[in-house]
């Protein structure tokens, strides 16, 4: 028995209607991502990267095409099922970090475990272990506003992986970071993938980061222009 791909997208179409005009953000995207893969979704601004990640993350629904997540077609999932799928199988990292300002670093990381019903003790242990893994063992009790941008994004990454999801979706995670920190964050995401076989999908338009990715999917005007593996040319 072969395990189904984590993401299996066929002919994904997404349109936005703006008054009279219709924007075709995605015009038929086919994409298959197997367990343990890391890929970068590249492309200029407006090419549809965010839209694709939103669809892959069940945050939005396609207008046409199909998406199968670890063997389950999203078309058969209702709101509740999508919520539960995100809760248990997916992790998200955002450009603007999106940590809860009233919670400490540790509490932010505990959030997915709390949603999963994990007990307080285990939550704390696992959150601290993951925070240590991303190099923040000295920042457990800090609130987001007491952390630097790079540290916040590390907390967000810890939050995205603490519940051992199938995949982490990171939409321009380095967009608000300087290039040195961006490289560190990218390396961190890839290291996490190596240690736990989690699929990592990162969107970016930073050429330096694209070059480091084992697989590169380039979007242009809502279509996949290239899908290459191995070291960048």
Ligand X SMILES: Nc1ncnc2c1ncn2[C@@H]1O[C@H](COP(=O)(O)OP(=O)(O)O)[C@@H](O)[C@H]1O
Name the site residues for ligand X (rule: CB under 6 A): 16, 18, 23, 25, 43, 45-51
Q: How far is CA 120 from CA 77, 110, 113, 131, 141, in A?
A: 30, 9, 9, 16, 16
Identify which of residues 136 and 162 has a Cβ nearer to another protein in the complex: 162
| x/- map, 89-108, another protein, by CB under 8 A | -x-x-x-x-x-xxxx---x-
Residue from 50, 58, 74, 204 in contact with Mg ion (CB under 5 A): 50
Does residue 70 touch another protein according to CB under 8 A?
no
Does residue 84 touch another protein according to CB under 8 A?
yes
Does residue 86 touch another protein according to CB under 8 A?
yes
- Rounded to a whole number of angstroms, the minimum distance from the CB of residue 172 to ligand X is 7
Query: To which H or E segment does residue 51 belong?
Result: helix 49-56
**If contact means CB under 5 to 8 A according to the sort of partner, which of ligand X, another protein, Mg ion, none does residue 80 touch?**
another protein
Residue from 115, 142, 190, 214 in contact with another protein (CB under 8 A): 115
* Torsion sign over Cα 97, 225, 196, 83: positive
Q: How far is CA 108 from CA 15, 75, 135, 160, 179, in A?
A: 34, 31, 16, 10, 25
Helices within 4-45 (DSSP H only) = none
- Rounded to a whole number of angstroms, the minimum distance from the CB of residue 195 to another protein is 22
Angle between helices 149-161 and 179-196 (to 10 degrees): 20
Q: How far apart are CA 91 and CA 111, in angstroms?
A: 12
* Torsion sign over Cα 168, 42, 55, 48: positive
Beta-carbon contacts of 210 under 8 Å, excluding residues fewer than 6 positions away, are: 40, 42, 204, 216, 232
Q: Which residues pair with 92 in a beta bridge?
A: 169
- Rounded to a whole number of angstroms, the minimum distance from the CB of residue 233 to another protein is 34
**If contact means CB under 5 to 8 A according to the sort of partner, which of ligand X, Mg ion, another protein, none does residue 48 touch?**
ligand X
Identify which of residues 123 and 216 has a Cβ nearer to another protein in the complex: 123
Does residue 193 touch Mg ion according to CB under 5 A?
no
- Rounded to a whole number of angstroms, the minimum distance from the CB of residue 94 to ligand X is 12
Does residue 159 touch another protein according to CB under 8 A?
yes
Chain residues that interact with another protein, rule: CB under 8 A: 54, 57, 59-60, 79-80, 83-88, 90, 92, 94, 96, 98, 100-103, 107, 110-112, 114-115, 120, 159
């Amino acid at each position: 028995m072969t395990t189904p791909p984590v993401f299996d997208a066929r002919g994904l179409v997404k349109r936005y209607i703006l008054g009279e005009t219709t924007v075709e953000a995605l015009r038929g995207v086919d994409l298959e991502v197997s367990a343990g893969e890391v890929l970068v979704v590249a492309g200029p601004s407006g090419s549809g990267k965010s839209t694709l990640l939103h669809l892959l993350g069940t945050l939005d629904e396609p207008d046409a095409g199909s998406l199968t997540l670890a063997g389950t077609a999203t078309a058969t999932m209702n709101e509740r099922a999508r919520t539960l799928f995100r809760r248990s199988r997916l992790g998200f990292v955002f450009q603007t970090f999106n940590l809860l300002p009233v919670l400490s670093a540790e509490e932010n990381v505990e959030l997915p475990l709390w949603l999963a019903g994990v007990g307080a003790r285990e939550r704390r242990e696992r959150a601290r272990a993951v925070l240590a893994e991303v190099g923040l063992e000295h920042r457990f009790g800090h609130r987001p506003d007491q952390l630097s941008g790079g540290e916040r994004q590390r907390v967000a990454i810890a939050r995205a992986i603490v519940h051992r999801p199938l995949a982490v979706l990171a939409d321009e995670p380095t967009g608000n970071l300087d290039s040195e920190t961006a490289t560190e964050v990218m390396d961190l995401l890839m290291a996490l993938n190596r240690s736990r076989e989690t699929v990592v999908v990162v969107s970016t338009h930073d050429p330096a980061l694209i070059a480091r990715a084992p697989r590169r999917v380039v979007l242009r005007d809502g279509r996949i222009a290239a899908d290459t593996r191995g070291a960048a040319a």
